[in-house]
Amino acid sequence: MATLYVVVPCYNEQEVICETASRLSDKLSRMMSCGLCDDKSRILFVDDGSTDRTWELLQSLYTEYPYVCGLKLAHNKGHQNALLAGLMTAKEHADVSISVDADLQDDIEVLDQFVEHYHNGCDVVYGVRKRRDTDTVFKRATAQGFYKLMKVLGVDVVYNHADYRLMSRRALEGLEQYKEVNLFLRGIVPTIGYKSDVVYYDRHERFAGESKYPLKKMISFAVDGITSFSVRPLKIISNLGIFISLLSVAGFLYALLSKVFGYTVPGWTAILCSIWLIGGIQLFCIGIIGTYIGKIYSESKSRPKYIIETLLKK
């Protein structure tokens, strides 16, 4: 039997953390009794510098439940870094790790299927949503648009997959070799290789609390994903520059011919609109270039992705 670690990143999850620990402990116990994992298996909660009572509750849960462990980061580093911290810690103790969010929306009853695929030779198993009926129309449209845009830009992502996935120790050792600071695990994991499969599941409503991914964070996450794995936006800027240059030449020829044949019409509207249009495009392009430069700056500093403050391990 394999040793399984369920890695749960959490930030300000005091409303759900106790229920999550209870349900995951029950599920892990049932998996042990079925022979899917051994008694060394654990649930590793990663506190990403929460400002509420999340860590205090985790310390209590650590003494209450035999399978619950805790990892506290010294500072809030974001979901992706917290998840990576948990996976790298789990790698040292487990044969296989499964990452799942703390909000109880991912269906933990399919954990059995994840492990079965692992025993069948898969190093990576992706949890994929069957449908998005519980999402608002806006969220559904933006999420699906994001995945389609990533595909168009050449980024290899699994459609409708978030961070609910299984990774073997070998896959995590491959992930450890990626040294980039700007993390987008949904894009990195498919590039590792190894045999993979998919488990489909229904996503539930959030048990309690509020989503930690409002619109602003979702947009930021999407920009990080695109700029971390594709240089096509830069190529688009180059092509756009060529196109505008050709339009400028055409406009110059038109203005010159109008002057020669005496068809010039005084007016400032067209000129003003042209200036605003070109100026807006230039600022937009500079912004994209600046995003890439900012990422290069972050990578050049090579700062640690996370710092572990406390580890509660049985």
Q: Please state whether beta strands 68-73 and 308-312 pair in parallel, antiparallel, or not at all (unpaired).
A: antiparallel
Q: What is the pLDDT of residue 167?
A: 94
pLDDT digits (tens, 9 = 90+) for 137-153: 666 666 666 667 667 66
What string of DSSP letters covers 193-253? -S-EEEEEEPPPPPSSS--S--HHHHHHHHHHHHHHH--HHHHHHHHHHHHHHHHHHHHHH
Model pTM? 0.71
| Beta bridge partner(s), residue 5 | 42, 97
Are 229 and 187 contacting, i.e. CB atoms less than 8 angstroms apart?
yes
Q: What is the pLDDT of residue 14?
A: 87
Buried b (16+ CB within 10 A) or exposed e, 46-62: bbbbbeeebbebbbebb
What is the third-level CATH fold of 4-217+304-312?
Answer: Spore Coat Polysaccharide Biosynthesis Protein SpsA; Chain A (3.90.550)
CA distances from 56 to 13, 50, 237 (A): 11, 10, 49
| Beta bridge partner(s), residue 44 | 7, 69
Report the distance separating Cα 36 and Cα 27, nearest Å. Answer: 11
pLDDT beneath 70, residues of the chain: 132-147, 149-150, 152-155, 205-235, 237-242, 244-274, 276-277, 280, 283, 297-299, 301
